[in-house]
Amino acid sequence: MEYEPNELDEEFENYLQLVHCFVVKDFPYAERCSFVMNSSDCVSGTNFVPYMQLMSCVFKCKNKFMELVFISIFLALCAELLLCLGYVVDLYYGPALKVVSRLLHMNEHLAGVTLLAFGNTSPDLFANLANIEEEVPVFANSMSTALFVSMFTGGLVCYISPFKMNSHSTIRDLLFFILGISLLEYVMASEGQVTLNECIMLCMVYIFYLMVNMLDLYIMRITMRMMEREIKELRSKPLTREMTRKLNELQRKYDDLNEDETIEIVERTSSIFVSGKRSQRGKSRATFTFGTPQNRGHDNVNEEATRNVFYNLSHGKNIRLFEEFFESIKPIDCSEWRNHNMFMKAFYLAKAPVVFLCAIYIPLVDYEIDKHGWSKLLNCLHIVLNPALTLMVGGAMFVDRKENVWWYTNLKLKYAQYSFIVTIPLALIVFFHSRTDVPPRYHIVFTIMNLTGSMFIIFICATEIDLVLEVVGNILDIPEDFMGVTVNAVAGALGDLVANSSMAMQGYEKMAYAAAIGGPFFTVLMATGAVLAAKIMSGMEATMDEQIGDYGENAYIFLNLGLFSALLWTSTLNFFARRSTGIFSMGIYGLYIFFAILIEQNIIHSYSRDDVFPIPE
């Protein structure tokens, strides 16, 4: 009689295709290499560095001590990636966002809740959509990430640079945020699982929020134009005591609105991430106002000054061409190297590869520095290298990752050859048309490559840090749910932390704090809604027990506590963000982490459903 295979046989046959890679820690050390080389998850779960293959096959770890040594090396790599993340945000991503926000006539608040929030959270959205088949508590992770960004990152912004908030915009954002998390919790708990229509409703609430923000700015500018006409009419009349009082009151209201309608270009000194001539800033301050007639015509005064600082028609078009090129890609400034101590020299050495790679990959567009960051030969190379490298590396990582964990062996010119057809002639045209001493008028187009390149590197760094910490957590036998709401939530929000704190240090506190609210609001509604919708359309169910986990309700309660306390202290302090409020907000997140640790150690019980004591129906 012929034997017919059953379901158990099929499960054994597909074991290596279905099992998680981190099961390898349960194998004897001598058998780990064979498992890692044949497990599908060990291949698909790798980004740039195959950590498990390095430990099991290349270095052949034989005991726990060797594992701890390599964990230390992985954490050092994590620090280098974090340095790269901060450098890209500070030198490239932040200035490009300011250029785009001015080009689109946004104020600081709208730029924060749109451009900065999208740039910070969209990599997490794409990463989550790429891993929808994994059974992870999406609700718990999104709430934990939102709690970290809104409380810790928002508190850090207030601590770094206290400022006067936009009152009505801050209250509106906080109330929308409370509505969003309450709505998400309701649709999770109402029927025990989420439907596709409820996911669409979550996304529509966020779209409505954006429309309200845009409409608010439009109405504010109309109001300002009406007030300008009224002020002009009052000034043309005899100034009686009553007329003077009315004029002063109207002027005060106009000035209050004008503070929220302007984008201030703040020239700053270089930060710890940036060194060299490209980072030199002055100490002046220029205000660019959109929509106010009396300020039009002065918008480009500082911009033109920095653009034409070296412009001289008596010079040739290619003066200092190669000298400028080598200065732009120089990883370490010699004068700074000589003037600093041993620790700063070590920091410069660690930063050198990051500086070089970013210089040849991302074009710099910054209206606050000389020539707006223009380097003729380097920028022409960017036209060719930036799209080609993005396509080749992206294709090798996300398209051809099948059986080989070493991504660079999958690099194929076919992903870049079509871009060469366009970019090489375009680079030659720009080279023969432009000058070295002044950027061309179309230099702003390089902002597109700046943003795409910066977001690509930010995505790579953030996901790689997340993967390193996941590897470390599993090797140290830390529960996966606990890692997801603590370490992984922080790692996934490192882009928000670095970008928002960098913008605050540059003098754009309103934009940074708006992103600290708008970013997690995007995560809670759009990102979570999109991931749940993708799961449902893939035939999976998004049930409450699966999505909330052991820590979801705790994150939800602490997030509500933080947002309601923010409503309280903003109104109590007349919307002045102080350092004490920043410490208070960060303390709320610290309290959440403390509770999570107590829950993980079984000292206290979480707000999740208890199977031992079921709730009576």
The whole-number pLDDT of residue 287 equals 39
The whole-number pLDDT of residue 579 equals 93
Whole-number Å distance between alpha carbons of 370 and 284: 14
The whole-number pLDDT of residue 412 equals 65
Phi, psi of 495 (to 5 degrees): -60, -45
Whole-number Å distance between alpha carbons of 211 and 218: 10
Joined together, the tokens standing for residue 17 give 């295709």
Dihedral angle of Cα 182, 184, 187, 188, to the nearest 10 degrees: -110
The whole-number pLDDT of residue 271 equals 60
The whole-number pLDDT of residue 91 equals 86
The whole-number pLDDT of residue 584 equals 95
The whole-number pLDDT of residue 408 equals 64
Kindly tell me the number of DSSP H helices and DSSP E strands found in the chain.
29, 4
The whole-number pLDDT of residue 193 equals 74
Indicate the helix (H) or strand (E) that contains 447: helix 446-475
Whole-number Å distance between alpha carbons of 225 and 350: 52
- Name the residue among 354, 383, 351, 346 with its Cα closest to residue 460: 354
The whole-number pLDDT of residue 156 equals 94
- Residues of the chain falling short of pLDDT 70: 1-18, 44-45, 123-135, 192, 260-302, 397-415, 542, 544-545, 608-617
The whole-number pLDDT of residue 152 equals 95
DSSP 67-122: HHHHHHHHHHHHHHHHHHHHHHIIIIIHHHHHHHHHHTT--HHHHIIIIIHHHHHH
Per 3-state DSSP, what percentage of the chain is helix, strand, and coil (rounded to 5)?
A: 70, 5, 25
Q: What pTM was computed for the model?
A: 0.80
The whole-number pLDDT of residue 132 equals 61
Whole-number Å distance between alpha carbons of 109 and 114: 9
Phi, psi of 420 (to 5 degrees): -65, -35
For residue 209, give the 3-state DSSP assignment. Answer: helix
For residue 286, give the 3-state DSSP assignment. Answer: strand
- Name the residue among 75, 91, 72, 187 with its Cα closest to residue 138: 187
